Amino acid sequence: MSNDALEALYPFLHGVRQDGASLETRLLESVRAKAEDSVIVKRRFFEENAERVVAAAKTIAGSYRRGGRLIAMGNGGSSCDASHVTVEFLHPITAGRPALAALDLGADRAMLTAVANDVGFTHVFVRQLIALARPEDALIGISTSGNSENLLAAFVKAKEMGLATIGLSGGDGGRMAASPALDHCLVVATDSVHRVQECHVAIYHIIWDLVHSLLADDRGAALAGPKR
């Protein structure tokens, strides 16, 4: 009986594998539940924040109109998102949409490691902004917690330099939501990091699309020439 009890408490010690059929059922249920959660989070976010998303897109489009670029930053998974949003703008997959200048502050590992090693990780994005950013640029920072020190520091510097600033955050928005250095902060109000990240992807894809729609209007007007 003791062996049975110990085997039940610590299956990994006894090479006990889960029953195939019940495992399969649980896995399928897990897929459905998580997918459903993801849909609910996205639907709720866009129902509550559609106007904010449009406003953020207008700000970014405004930067492009002034000859600026989109600069993106994030840590970890959000760094992948920063890289993703950059390549969306640099390499549009839709015919007829022009490539737009975008910069990922996480791309240069020599710079990241140099600043992190010599000064501190809080400064890895700030130092790059000082060298590279111009007032007509827009800075987008992505963080599931909203509390990453290096993003917060970069937003403050960007605001000092005159950039437009947009944040994507999660949970309760963290310190990003409360920071006066952000012109826009889009908060996905859930504590699941994965659900936040999934929604962030949808947000910046939609923003990319909106920016192009806004700029296409300008291009259309330019082609049409002045009204007679």
Binding site for another protein (CB under 8 A): 1-2, 4-6, 8-13, 26, 145, 147, 171, 191-192
Q: Least separation, in Å, of the C-beta of 7 and another protein?
A: 9
Q: What is the dihedral of CA 30, 144, 140, 44, to 10 degrees?
A: 60
Q: Least separation, in Å, of the C-beta of 159 and another protein?
A: 22
By beta-carbon proximity to another protein, the closer residue of 55 and 177 is: 177
Paired tokens of 228: 């007679």
Per the CB < 8 A criterion, the answer to whether 102 and 86 are in contact is yes
For 106, 132, 159, 178, 191, the CA distances from 126, given in Å and listed in that order, are: 12, 10, 11, 19, 28
By beta-carbon proximity to another protein, the closer residue of 57 and 152 is: 152
Q: Least separation, in Å, of the C-beta of 225 and another protein?
A: 55
By beta-carbon proximity to another protein, the closer residue of 44 and 58 is: 44
Per the CB < 8 A criterion, the answer to whether 211 and 57 are in contact is yes
By beta-carbon proximity to another protein, the closer residue of 134 and 194 is: 194
Q: Least separation, in Å, of the C-beta of 74 and another protein?
A: 17
What are residue 184's phi and psi, to 5 degrees?
-140, 140
Per the CB < 8 A criterion, the answer to whether 177 and 152 are in contact is no
By beta-carbon proximity to another protein, the closer residue of 141 and 171 is: 171
Q: Least separation, in Å, of the C-beta of 178 and another protein?
A: 13
User: How would DSSP label each residue in 83-103?
Assistant: HHHHHHHHS--STTPPP--EE
By beta-carbon proximity to another protein, the closer residue of 76 and 92 is: 76
Q: Least separation, in Å, of the C-beta of 61 and another protein?
A: 34
Least Cα distance to 185 among 218, 151, 227, 140 occurs for 140
